[in-house]
Amino acid sequence: MTQYRMVIDVSRCIGCYNCFLACRDEHAGSDHRPVSIGQPASGHKWIAVREDERGTYPKVKVSHIPIPCQQCTDAPCITAARDGAVYRRADGIVVIDPDKASGQQDIVAACPYGAIFWNETQNVAQKCTFCAHLLDSGWKEPRCVEVCPTQAMVFGDAGDRGSAVAALIAAQDVEALHPEYDTKPLVSYRGLPKPYLVGEVSFCDQTQLPAAGIRVSLHRGDQVLATLTDSFGDFEFDNLETDADYLLKIEHSGYRPREMRLRAGADLDLGSIILDR
């Protein structure tokens, strides 16, 4: 039996909003009963693109995170709904019945991801359906996946071992957007932002010149990450483990080594680090 899953690779997303626009094109003002009725002209984001800005100027990173309905296996919206107004299809897609859900505004508040919206005109809660009406007519993927120029979104049948989405899930290189919600979502992510560390190295006797090509290493137990400073003397370590302790070492011939103990609870900018003779 078909079991739909989606994997979103945040490292590939460029924030073009093609997914959002395609969703609007497909659903705004268009009824697709029995799975949905038309989106209103404004206010709904059935797939939102969240911008996560990290770090401090001038060393700033921005990640774009597409967030559709997570199609949760343990969906709070199903629990909150009355009279079977929200249900799960056999293929895993969670559907808000546009007739039975009329007037049930509690469905909106039940979603911890903020992925359900209230249609004031139609008096009903609405959300992403994975374009179920298209899948039912033979389409292989939702509109948002179809238009992604960087292939940041992969969709398919997780039960088909030959599918791209099944391969990504089998590689165990995916995670939930908010595992603490414990909703068992059918949307998984790769490349979600993790703590990162940046700094700049300079020499005590050549402060006006960048210290390029300096070895910088980051140690945690037996794990060692190493890099060289770039032509500006900058270095960076990304995707660090949250709330982990690290030892930073900076070494260069003719200068005294530097060591710093750090905790990667958040993004760290160490600023300028001077190597002494």
Structure confidence by residue, pLDDT tens digits, 58-76 = 888 999 999 999 999 999 9
Smallest Cα–Cα separation from 113: which of 23, 30, 189, 11? 189
Residues 140 and 227 in one domain: no
pLDDT, position 80: 98
Please list, in sequence order, all residues whose beta carbon lies within 8 angstroms of the beta carbon of residue 141, skipping any fewer than 6 positions away: 131, 135, 155, 156
Contact 126, 36 (CB under 8 A): yes
Query: Same structural domain for residues 112 and 53?
Result: yes
Examine the fold and report which residue of 129, 153, 177 is the final residue of a domain before the chain moves on.
153
Confidence band for 208, pLDDT divided at 50, 70 and 90: confident
- Let me know if residue 64 belongs to a domain: yes
pLDDT at 155 over 90: yes
**Which helix (H) or strand (E) element contains residue 272?**
strand 268-275
Helix (H) / strand (E) element for 258: namely: strand 258-263
- Is 6 domain-assigned? no
Looking at the DSSP bridge assignments, the partners of residue 197 are: 237, 268
| Other CB atoms within 10 Å distance of the CB of residue 84 | 10
Residue 207 has pLDDT above 80, yes or no: no
Mean pLDDT for 159-175 is 93
Single pTM value for the model: 0.89
Which of 153, 181, 206 is the last residue before a domain boundary? 153
Question: Which tokens belong to 65?
Answer: 């995170």
- Same domain for 52 and 148: yes
Convert the pLDDT of each residue in 97-130 to its tens digit. 999 999 999 999 999 999 999 999 999 999 999 9
Instruction: Say if 142 falls within a structural domain.
Output: yes
Q: Are residues 149 and 209 in the same domain?
A: no
Question: 245 and 115 in one domain?
Answer: no
Q: Is the dihedral of CA 45, 49, 50, 56 positive or negative?
A: negative
Residues 25, 114: one domain?
A: yes
Helix (H) or strand (E) holding 107: helix 106-110
Question: Which regions of 57-151 does DSSP assign to beta strands (E)?
Answer: 59-68, 86-88, 94-96, 117-119, 124-126
Q: Is 108 helix (H, G, I), strand (E, B) or coil?
A: helix
Domain membership flag for residue 175: no
Same domain, 20 and 117: yes
Output the domain CATH number for residue 256: 2.60.40.10
Question: b/e map of 16-37 (b: 16 or more CB within 10 Å)?
Answer: eebbbebbbebbeeeebeebbb
Q: The domain containing residue 244 runs over which residues?
A: 197-275
Mean per-residue pLDDT of the chain:
95
Mean of pLDDT values over 18-42: 97
CATH code of the domain covering residue 98: 3.30.70.20
pLDDT the model gives residue 210:
81
pLDDT value at residue 270: 93
Looking at the domain assignment, is residue 183 inside a domain?
A: no
Residue 188: inside a domain: no
Identify the domain boundary among 122, 153, 184: 153
Same domain, 101 and 16: yes
Has residue 48 been placed in a domain?
yes
Judge whether 165 lies within some domain.
no
Average pLDDT over residues 160-176: 93
15 and 146 fall within a common domain: yes
Tokens of 239: 């995707």
Rounded CA-CA distance 177/185 in Å is: 9
Phi, psi of 207 (to 5 degrees): -65, -20
- Tell me: do 15 and 101 sit in the same domain: yes
Q: How many domains, in total, are found in the chain?
A: 2
